Structure 1
Amino acid sequence: MTVTEQSGSCAGCGVKLQSSDKEKSGYIPVSAAERTPAICQRCFRIKNYNEASSITIDQDDFLRLLGGIANTDSLVVHIVDLFDFEGSVISGLQRFVGNNPVLLVVNKIDLLPRAVNHNRILNWVQQQAKEAGLKTVEVVLCSAKRNIGFDRVVDAIEYYRRGRNVYVVGATNVGKSTLINRIIHDYSDLDAELTTSRYPGTTLDAVHIPLDDGKSIIDTPGIVYSHRMTEIVPRSVLQAILPDKPIKPLVYQLNEQQTMYVGALARFDFVSGERQSFTLYISNGLEVHRTKLERADELWADHKGVLLSPPTAEELADMPAWTRHSLRIPRGGEYDVFVSGLGWMRVNGMTGALVDVYLPKGIKVHVRRALI
């Protein structure tokens, strides 16, 4: 499988290039239009200055693009983020892709603690995918960034595509462009690179990467799910909540009526239950503060945005107000309290518990079978 050159669109994000309006997507100065590969000014600034842009794809356009896959004869590669599995699975993907085979690529396996059993993780993913209604030909665990399982991803794509086009789909920040860049760099001499960053919505249109047999790998824009913490926090906070190295689990022994704050992003109240331990799997860049439940409101009022941060007090003012979720942890099993885009808390006691979780309104939270 080798890649060939293409022109006419931005080599970074796929949008059609234009030199007439700086405020619209695809703008490229006339002086830069003859460069090879040609990239729009937005991608240039992301690549060279890590600068964000407010230009994003319209979600109706994305759904039309995704819906067109069902009318093709293609392999669909659905990339999800293991750290945010439920938050990054495309809801109802099967109805968009029709009868086309789906290869499920689970990225960012490198973020889990090194001692984790990958076979257990694979079994967990397969069960979660089944419950989500996904029909997959194979599940591959990988880290495009750390080159873990990457050869198997490439081999699986080549095996299952069988001379067809390949559509790569996924939510924002799951690593689609990073994975495709690995294919470009490792399996071709093409002097091009998709734009990657921590900012949502980096890819604005379908990016066609021609293969030597006349077919293409098509990188689609990442769908933006507002139920993920990564989509509602200020961009300055993304680096703190998106882990880039193996997570160091944080274990806390709690009595009932104790509270844990994760910065100013989440609050966990252990309302009732036997004394037990809780393990937080969150980015190493976040700080946790523990207090008694009776003092939790006072701590928030006095220290939100300062001791309890990120975000800052000013940034909190632009975020949705918190809402409370009361969750009952069943007895006799291994369970996580999962927060989309932030991480999860494993309940270790197996004796049951009542937990209240406070989060910005709209963020997905639920109890699931323990991942680790």
Structure 2
Amino acid sequence: MVEEVIEITNCEGCGVKLQTVDTAKLGFIPEQALTRVPIICQRCFRIKHYNEVSSVALHQDDFLQILGHIGGTQSLVVHIVDIFDFEGSLIGSLPRFIGTNPLMLVVNKVDLLPKVSNLNKIVNWIQRQLKEQGLKPVEIVMVSAKKNIGFERFMQTLDKHRAGKDIYVVGATNVGKSTLINRLIRDYSDLEAELTTSQYPGTTLDIVKIPLDDGKFIIDTPGIVYKHRLSELVAKKDIQALLPSEAIKPMVFQLNEQQSLFFGALARFDFVRGERQSFTCYVSSAIKIHRTKLEKADELYAEHRGVMLKPPTLADIELLPPLAKHPIHIKKGSNIDVLISGLGWIKINSLAGAELEVHVPKGVKLSIRESLI
């Protein structure tokens, strides 16, 4: 009986189709709430009654459909990215979707950077990366949703560029989007007003329009799921191990050629050829790094993955695609990072150059970039 009702019932707050199965997916409503009036999903219920929006996710094709409508609006687009996985969380295709609307880039999780980091240099680095991507934000704001850092400037910058427009908030999953939207709701929204249904012709878009005091809206788009991020591939219990909970403490390894580093069973870094040199690893402290000889690496992985080499555990190892090898040539005098999306990065400051091979689950994004730190 309940399933039959859900098939023909949409949320009266946001228009999404209701379902009672998965709390992490759009449209979730507890079965006992189906008799309430109005019938609204748990996400809308939490906004209306607790001034909170919960995080939900949408796959890339569906998310791009939502982005396709932004260009025809008069809005300020707020793109939230994760400094710990900058390339992996950046929506590089954004310029072709948003038209002439101003773009504000909010870089979250700055509390995870090592305490000695110079934020001005980090901003300059971000500007160079954005230029390569063709992104031209009107402003870059550095914040920590978790530590409440940078929110005053965030709100001032928002006021400066909003100019009476709606606010579209976009970002990948696990970048802290919900926390920032909750702050916007507290500061801007008149929650005495009802949440509104957002439907475009022919389709129901899975967004929530949160009314503002001036008659405009915060438009919360679901987090885009990027399967190239390792954090999207592991079991839920391992996500917390991947995502640092405090400032990263860099770990330096002096390696001779023909030595390897394992990052749990998630990735492997081989120093194939070159003079002895240091490699600095920026990953969560919950990821244990194991050094071994390259000649023993295959055997070690086969025998100890999921046990000594974890996360993931042996029970969850099959959730990951097989490791794929990526050869990398490092030129003399290079100062670069090798980023493994969702895991972290290895800094290489090589005077003599090096030949590397990095093994990551097939499909996970691997980036070579100018060193962040």
- TM-score, normalization: structure 1? 0.85
Quick one: distance in 1 between partners of 2:33 and 2:116? 52
1:16 paired residue number? 16
Q: Is the 8 A contact 1:17 1:27 kept in 2?
A: no
2:7 paired residue number? none
List runs of 5+ in structure 1 lacking aligned partners.
Answer: 1-7, 45-51, 193-203
Quick one: distance in 1 between partners of 2:299 and 2:59? 42
In the superposition, relative to structure 1, how do residues 313 and 157 fare at CA in structure 2: closer, same or farther (>3 Å)?
same
In the superposition, relative to structure 1, how do residues 162 and 181 fare at CA in structure 2: closer, same or farther (>3 Å)?
same
Q: State how 1:50-89 maps to structure 2 within 5 Å.
A: 57-89=58-90
Tell me the percent identity.
54
In the superposition, relative to structure 1, how do residues 365 and 17 fare at CA in structure 2: closer, same or farther (>3 Å)?
closer
The alpha-carbon deviation at position 64 of structure 1 amounts to 1.5
1:254 paired residue number? 255
Q: Deviations over 1:108-141 (max 9, x none)?
A: 1110011100011000001101111111111111
Q: State how 1:295-314 maps to structure 2 within 5 Å.
A: 295-314=296-315
The residue type paired with residue 87 of structure 1 is: G
Secondary structure in 1 aligned to 2:337?
A: strand
Q: Is the 8 A contact 2:165 2:216 kept in 1?
A: yes
Quick one: distance in 2 between partners of 1:60 and 1:89? 16
* Aligned counterpart in structure 2 of residue 40 of structure 1, from 18, 21, 42: 42
1:95 paired residue number? 96
Say which is worse superposed, 290-299 or 56-65, in terms of deviation: 56-65
The alpha-carbon deviation at position 158 of structure 1 amounts to 1.2
The residue type paired with residue 164 of structure 2 is: G
1:350 paired residue number? 351
Q: Is the 8 A contact 2:250 2:282 kept in 1?
A: yes
In the superposition, relative to structure 1, how do residues 181 and 100 fare at CA in structure 2: closer, same or farther (>3 Å)?
same
Q: Is the 8 A contact 2:189 2:213 kept in 1?
A: no
In the superposition, relative to structure 1, how do residues 140 and 56 fare at CA in structure 2: closer, same or farther (>3 Å)?
closer
Q: Is the 8 A contact 1:329 1:367 kept in 2?
A: no
Secondary structure in 1 aligned to 2:271?
A: strand
Quick one: distance in 2 between partners of 1:120 and 1:137? 18
In the superposition, relative to structure 1, how do residues 277 and 101 fare at CA in structure 2: closer, same or farther (>3 Å)?
same
Say which is worse superposed, 326-335 or 301-310, in terms of deviation: 326-335
The alpha-carbon deviation at position 318 of structure 1 amounts to 2.7
* Aligned counterpart in structure 2 of residue 27 of structure 1, from 26, 29, 45: 29
Q: State how 1:99-248 maps to structure 2 within 5 Å.
A: 99-186=100-187, 190=191, 205-248=206-249
List runs of 5+ in structure 2 lacking aligned partners.
Answer: 1-9, 47-53, 194-204
Say which is worse superposed, 35-44 or 287-296, in terms of deviation: 35-44
The residue type paired with residue 315 of structure 2 is: E
Say which is worse superposed, 293-302 or 33-42, in terms of deviation: 33-42
In the superposition, relative to structure 1, how do residues 305 and 150 fare at CA in structure 2: closer, same or farther (>3 Å)?
same
In the superposition, relative to structure 1, how do residues 58 and 325 fare at CA in structure 2: closer, same or farther (>3 Å)?
closer
Q: Is the 8 A contact 2:57 2:225 kept in 1?
A: no
The alpha-carbon deviation at position 23 of structure 1 amounts to 4.1
2:287 paired residue number? 286
Q: Structure 1 runs of 4+ off > 6 angstroms?
A: 41-44
Secondary structure in 2 aligned to 1:309?
A: coil
Quick one: distance in 1 between partners of 2:192 and 2:207? 19
2:266 paired residue number? 265
Q: Is the 8 A contact 2:188 2:212 kept in 1?
A: no
Q: Is the 8 A contact 2:238 2:312 kept in 1?
A: yes
Q: Is the 8 A contact 1:336 1:344 kept in 2?
A: yes
The alpha-carbon deviation at position 317 of structure 1 amounts to 1.8
Quick one: distance in 2 between partners of 1:36 and 1:268? 54
Secondary structure in 1 aligned to 2:63?
A: helix
- TM-score, normalization: structure 2? 0.85
In the superposition, relative to structure 1, how do residues 150 and 56 fare at CA in structure 2: closer, same or farther (>3 Å)?
closer
Q: Deviations over 1:158-207 (max 9, x none)?
A: 11010000101111111111111122335568599xxxxxxxxxxx9212
Q: C-alpha root-mean-square deviation of aligned residues, in Å?
A: 2.8
Quick one: distance in 2 between partners of 1:15 and 1:85? 32
Q: Is the 8 A contact 2:333 2:349 kept in 1?
A: no
In the superposition, relative to structure 1, how do residues 43 and 299 fare at CA in structure 2: closer, same or farther (>3 Å)?
farther
Q: Deviations over 1:59-90 (max 9, x none)?
A: 43322211100001111111111000000111
Q: Is the 8 A contact 2:260 2:268 kept in 1?
A: yes
